[in-house]
Structures are given as structure tokens and as C-alpha cells.
Amino acid sequence: MSELVTPHGGKLLPLLVSGEERNECLSEAGTLPRVRLNSRELSDLIMLAMGAFSPLQGFMGKEDYRRVVGEMRLTGGVLWPVPITVSVAKEDADKIKEGQKVALVNTDGNEIVASMQVQEKYDYDREAEAVKVFGTDDGQHPGVQKIYEQGDIYLGGPVRVFNEGGYPERFPEFARPAETRAIFADKGWTTIAAFQTRNPLHRSHEYLTKIALEVCDGLLIHPIVGKLKSGDIPAEVRMECYKVLLENYYPPDKVVLKVYPMEMRYGGPREAVLHAIIRQNFGCSHLIIGRDHAGVGTYYGPFDAQKIFDELKPGDLQIQPLKLDATFWCWKCHSMASPKTCPHGADEHLSISGTKLREMLTGGERPPEQFSRKEVVDVLVKYYQGRSEK
């Protein structure tokens, strides 16, 4: 029997209710005051339902929130890097009493997705949260913008979730932590490297994941399929890219492709720690951290997301970061390489990034095969041509 890393905090705590219990809870929720969730809150709720946010049992109360923002800790001392919160306007908060139950509804307001026992109501400082969590109070940062757009009051308390937002139906590759753990155990894997992505995989990504495969039993390609920022490539297109790449360039018995429904915060270092916690819950022993992990624009240094792991205490995480250098195609080596392995100058290097890939495709330029595999580029060219025709 394979020994996988234990879930963060000790055990998985999925919050999805099913069967007759679900019917009873849903019936009760129909009589409750309603709180409408924004897209980030809804995706966080689904992550809670899956157990991917273990050990959380709901949206954070005041003390957890303040310690997480200030110290990256829950009140019991467990590592947690970003607040998981639900907000309401002050006039709506005034109608809700502490101790009362509310129904949480989706972003359209037409479906009850969970119930919540409101244990606390509390205000917060938007700018202070933004600076601590994202390192900036600039409203152009997509994560900070979300904070500025939300309600004035946070509600804290446990939740019971009734569905997973249609993700299992939309994506056959959807999997909960308990399910990936069962897959890894069945394969006999004890060391699994996770690769977080919101982009199609280009040659640098491929190189990093294959380095990980050299030192681990298996690889989890784990793309995020929640809401992204404008300009990012839709999930369905990316899934097609992942599949053609895996079919042609990876050993099928060494790779698992699964998706998860979180919304990107683009939070750089702190989000990298959250990605690690999530993958530990999914059963992974390592998380690949490359250049500019979870970053956006120029808000973070290229390796800030690696450095934050050096600041953690021993025992904070069982999962370990695989800190890998920036990589490029070297015309002289005629292969992928990094500054650690290549002696040649920058004039021999083709720098590769998801941003550059999107720029080339948007401009009608076909990326070369040194940039991304032909099969992947074919999928992307078709998508961008269809978008330009519309």
C-alpha cells in the first residue's frame, strides 16, 4: 500500500452533502435569506465542497481572517496564505443576525448552492488586505480589483454545499482529492509532482514537467478551470492542447490529467503556497515552482514564489517545492536548457513564456516548434483564427 502525504491539517474535510440529507438541507435553505456569491466566492465554495481547502470548514471568521492576512496562519497555527471569505453589502449585513443561517446562491442569483451558519459579521480594511496578500494596493491587479469590488462586511461560518457548480459534468477530468489519492495509490506511486497551469503547455512547461518525472513516480498535470482574466485562453481550448501533448510526448502510465475549479487570484508568492496546500490535499508530494509562478504583470519578481517557501517553518507543509530555473530553447545546444546547464550567450536563446505565446498568436504569427509543439500550435491557431473571424 503506497504511503501518500497526509492532507493539510491532518485529514480531508469535504463539505458536499448528498442523498436524502442534501434534499433536507436544500429544502430548508429555500426558506432562508439569500446571499449572492461573486465568481471567486463561488469557486472557493466548490473547493471547500471537494475538500481541496482542508482543513477549512467554511468561510473565515474574524480571527482566522486577521491571522491569515497578517501572519499566513489560522488561529490554531496551521499555515494558510490567503483569506477565504464571503462578503455582503453593509445594508444586507444589517439584516443578518449572528447565529442565523443563510442560503448561498450562485452569481446569477437563481440557484441555491449551499447553506451557511453565520457565526460572525465583521468589517475589514480593503487596502490593508490587498497590500498584505498581494503586495500591492493597485486596483489594476486582478486580485486586488476583486477586493475593491466586493461588499463591506465579511460573513464567517461553516458551510454545507449542495453541488459543485456543474464542473463534474463539464469536465470529464474533474476530480476531488479523495479520487486522485485513490488513483495514485492504485498506481503504487508515493512521490507525485503536480504542475499548476492556466496556459497551454509550451516547451518550457514540458521541460519542467519532464525534469519532475525524472525524480518522481508520477506527474499530475492540474490545470485551473475556474474564471481567468481577460485574454487568457478558455479552458476547453487548453484541455484540447493538454490532450494532444500528452498523447504524443508523454508516457501514458506516468501522467494523470485532472482539473480543479478554483479562480486564479494572480497572487504570486502567497498563491504559490495555496497551490502547494491544495496539491498536498490531492496527494502530491511535490509542486513544480518555475519562473513567475501565479504572477501577473510586473508585480512580483520572477522567483519570489520560490523564495516564500524558504520563509516557512519546518513541518508547515509535507509537500515540497521543486524550484526550477528559467528555461529556454538554445540554438547552439539545439535543445531546451537553463542557465544551470547551458554555457551559451543570450543571443543563442529563444525565451519562452505564455504571455509571448499569446502575443504571437493574437498577432497572427505562428510560433515555431522550438516554442511549442506543432500539435499544440495547430489547436491554438485554429482557436485564434476563429476568434478573429468573429
Omega into 302 within 30° of 0, i.e. cis? Answer: no
- Transcribe 183-251 into DSSP letters: HHHHHT-S-EEEEEESS---HHHHHHHHHHHHHSSEEEEEEB-S---TTSPPHHHHHHHHHHHHHHHS-
d(CA 389, CA 290): 35
Give the burial class of 346: count Cβ atoms within 10 A of its Cβ; 0-12 exposed, 13-18 middle, 19 or more buried.
exposed
- Catalytic annotation present for 198: yes
Read off the C-alpha cell for 100: 442565523
Distances 82 to 205, 267, 268, 311, 371 between C-alpha atoms, Å: 26, 9, 11, 16, 34
CA-nearest of 82, 39, 46, 52 to 64 is 82
d(CA 229, CA 173): 22
> Active-site residue among 36, 106, 160, 199?
199
Read off the C-alpha cell for 30: 429555500
Residue 294 · residue 106 · CB < 8 Å: no
- Catalytic annotation present for 38: no
> Active-site residue among 40, 198, 279, 291?
198
CA-nearest of 326, 249, 338, 341 to 289 is 326
Please report which helix (H) or strand (E) contains residue 302, including its range: none
Catalytic residues: 198-199
